[in-house]
Structure 1
Amino acid sequence: MMLDDAYANAAYIDGADSFPPRWKKEAEAFRANLGARAQLNVRYGPSDRQKFDLFQPEGVSRGTAVFVHGGYWKAFDKSYWSHLAAGPLARGYAVAMPSYDLCPDVRISEISTQIAAALTEVANRTQGTIVLSGHSAGGHLVARMTDPLLLGAEVRDRITRIVPISPVADLTPLLQTEMNDTLRLDEAEAAAESPMNMTPPHGVDVTVWVGADERPVFLEQAENFARSWGAKQVVAEGKHHFDVIDPLAEADSELTKALLGS
């Protein structure tokens, strides 16, 4: 299909195959070191993948950060990303990381509904403000959480900041890719599920984050999304689609500061 290459990330990243094993190893070590402060596999829905991990900081939590993983809605789960909780945890935030069912077993609209259910359960178990970040497809999913048809007002009103990282904010181009054999998008769902077409949220600080070395289409998606929502945009120098998320593991990184507000 004509846009397959445009959305192909791994083909343009040196050593791309080494990233998932490294992520998984670092995540496993992080969970093991956290011990009793890691509450694993909290169920929020009926399927085996509808679970999240909840990591607690030392002392009283200042709020809760939620990270939603990417993988084009068809790959990965929460177990690859635990180490990215290190930054917010060090700043006193609890961190929740959900898995979700994947395409083609479900449609993207169903995944959005699942993440809303995960956030509702996270909110039931925590107090204070909630901040959201998500990478790639996860960036799409956290942006969708401002839709009042998806998430109840009690939870939405607790969301103060959203940082979509390298988000796919306009799903319509994916109709012209081979991956749509798995995603099963049609024009109606692509339009309805595109944050680009949503009304920008009021009272929520939104920062669209993207790596300077990403594929041109991701830079375009980020720029267009930030403009349509009147959001801040950061283009991180020297970062590509796979390492753009790494600074979440650092308490004083600019990415962690953008998520937590300081």
Structure 2
Amino acid sequence: MPRIAYVNGRYLPHREATVHIEDRGYQFADGVYEVCEVARGYIVDMRRHLDRLNRSLAELSIDWPVSRAALEIILREVVGRNGVKNGLVYFQVTRGVAGRDFVFPSNVKPSLVVTAKKVDPNFQAKRAETGIKVITVPENRWERVDIKSVGLLPNVLAKQKAKEAGCQEAWFVDAEGMVKEGGSSNAWIVTRDGVLVTRPAEHGILRGITRTTLLDVIGKLGLRFEERHFSVEEAKEAREAFVSSATTLAMPVVEIDGRTIANGQPGSVTLSLREAFFDVAEKSPA
């Protein structure tokens, strides 16, 4: 089955899906995006992703390209046309196409692109059996990382550095040595007292949708939780560490900057969060 993409009102073969060279997303990174997990034929946490899309658009004064109800239909249609039962659906909104100028253009319709792809559901499960390795990098991004912008070059460089170091993720660290978040994930630890900790999401990190759903999972499982800053050193001394995102759920971290975490094996708390996640998450039939 050939892949199908949606571009500004048209469903097209993936290889023919293009945008104009003066789309402001291409020239200025003037746009935002979301990624939803598709699992067992459901789009996971779609309402929360659309809520965050709405916030990102509002922060950048970009209009919705279509109504929210229409976008829900488009997401389901793209998932269905690609036969995705387990995978991802990606949607991106930019300010639109206009002659190159830094100021906002007037009377321009935002651009909308939606793609979906299949992902082996066993891939991340197998990775979770052994966990991943993380490096830390100095924070070098703009302050508004709470907006899910397509301007991701610092994240790209951080994740490339992680790959070259034989790791799977990079954690951004602020000037005080406190962990902020990963290149494409939120960062967590479990203290030696069994308390889950992650940085507050009001400023300086993205309020991850999977992060938010994990808070629901934590409540359902009756686990202890603190929303506070934690240092790289505290993470290295933790009982467990993990990252969260739509593509990884709760993924165990077994090494940070070459330092083994606890016994070097995925922790029981992280694995319990993975096991309970699907049942707690909101599920919209695709």
Same fold (TM over 0.5): no
Greater fraction of residues in strand:
2
Give the number of the structure whose alpha-carbon radius of gyration is greater.
2
- Taking structure 1 as the reference length, the TM-score comes to 0.27
Greater fraction of residues in helix:
1
- Taking structure 2 as the reference length, the TM-score comes to 0.26
